[in-house]
């Protein structure tokens, strides 16, 4: 069987030209890497460890005009989970870091906390390598929930390990696996204000949040209780992190903004 070679980045990239229409060719779509995570999954007669991702993430990438490429956090690479990240990122037009379990607290200098759950060190290392390569190439990045936390920690920031200990309520996540509507206020002059307007109501499910802000990041949205709900990294084409889950409501605005600068 003959396979077409993968075109080098400079040859195949196209600038995003608005929502997809029936006559746009597939070659015009930006290639967007979307991270996934290890979990045990069942489908049909099968029950296996798998690379898992809620479909809403990649469907929003596609709806916004991108071609999603799912990126599993491989564990068996001889050179470790981050092997080949730079070469992979060189083929992409944008990167989406999705939600999931907590980061390893050791990565931001915390011994641990009883509420920390779902730590996957291989995933941490895999996504850190992807993020490092993306920032090095000034690739557009959208970081969602855990993705925002990874961005903050990678840039030297820290996290509040269990938000209810600080704010005194569970309004950002009523229980594990549940969502809450949270009102956010954007910071004037930020990219987030341009995308959302002055205020918005978003769907959240996080029990952790930014404590010390990572180097270079600025807060671009907060909730009424002072919790950081969005950050961005000035000086880059597009590096935006949000604590909420736009995919839960089918909100395309952040994905549209990402694709608008991809390519």
Give every CB contact of residue 60 below 8 A, 6+ residues apart in sequence.
246, 247, 250, 252, 255
148-192 confidence digits (pLDDT tens): 999 999 999 999 999 999 999 999 999 999 999 999 999 999 999
Q: What is the pLDDT of residue 252?
A: 98
pLDDT, tens only, 78-116: 999 999 999 999 999 999 999 999 999 999 999 889 999
* Four-residue CA torsion sign, 178, 121, 59, 220: positive
Res 19: pLDDT? 47
Catalytic sites, residue numbers: 145, 245, 247
Question: What is the pLDDT of the chain when averaged over all its residues?
Answer: 90
Rounded to the nearest 10°, the torsion over CA 184, 186, 192, 193 is 130
- At residue 112, the pLDDT reads 81
* Residues 141 and 151: beta-carbon distance below 8 Å: yes
Higher pLDDT, 126 or 27: 126
Going from N- to C-terminal start, the domains of the chain cover 9-18+26-159+210-261
pLDDT value of position 28: 77
Q: Is the pLDDT of residue 13 over 90?
A: no
Instruction: Say which CATH architecture domain 9-18+26-159+210-261 belongs to.
Output: 3-Layer(aba) Sandwich (3.40)
**Strand pairing category for 228-232 and 199-204:** unpaired
144 pLDDT higher than 60: yes
pLDDT on residue 111: 86
Find the angle CA(215)-CA(251)-CA(18) to the nearest 5 degrees: 90
Least confident residue range of 22-36, 109-123, 221-235: 22-36
- Relative to beta strand 66-71, strand 94-97 is unpaired
pLDDT at 27: 53
Query: In the numeric block, which tokens belong to residue 118?
Result: 């779902």
pLDDT of 18 > 90? The answer is no
């Amino acid at each position: 069987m003959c396979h077409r070679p993968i075109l080098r980045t400079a040859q195949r990239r196209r600038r995003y030209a608005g929502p997809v229409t029936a006559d746009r060719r597939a070659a015009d779509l930006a290639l967007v890497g979307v991270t996934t995570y290890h979990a045990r999954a069942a489908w049909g007669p099968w029950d296996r460890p798998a690379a898992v991702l809620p479909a809403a993430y990649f469907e929003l990438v596609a709806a916004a005009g991108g071609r999603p490429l799912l990126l599993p956090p491989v564990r068996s690479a001889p050179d470790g989970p981050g092997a080949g990240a730079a070469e992979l990122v060189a083929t992409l037009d944008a990167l989406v870091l999705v939600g999931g379990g907590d980061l390893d607290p050791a990565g931001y200098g915390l011994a641990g906390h009883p509420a920390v759950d779902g730590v996957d060190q291989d995933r941490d290392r895999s996504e850190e390598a992807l993020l490092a390569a993306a920032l090095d190439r000034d690739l557009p990045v959208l970081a969602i929930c855990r993705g925002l936390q990874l961005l903050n920690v990678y840039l030297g920031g820290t996290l509040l390990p269990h938000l209810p200990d600080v704010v005194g309520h569970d309004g950002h996540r009523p229980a594990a696996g549940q969502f809450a509507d949270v009102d956010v206020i954007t910071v004037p002059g930020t990219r987030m204000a341009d995308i959302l307007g002055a205020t918005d109501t978003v769907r959240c499910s996080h029990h952790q949040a930014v404590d010390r802000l990572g180097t270079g990041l600025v807060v671009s949205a907060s909730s009424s209780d002072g919790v950081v709900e969005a950050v961005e990294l000035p000086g880059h084409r597009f590096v935006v992190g949000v604590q909420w889950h736009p995919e839960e409501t089918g909100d395309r605005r952040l994905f549209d903004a990402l694709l608008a600068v991809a390519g």
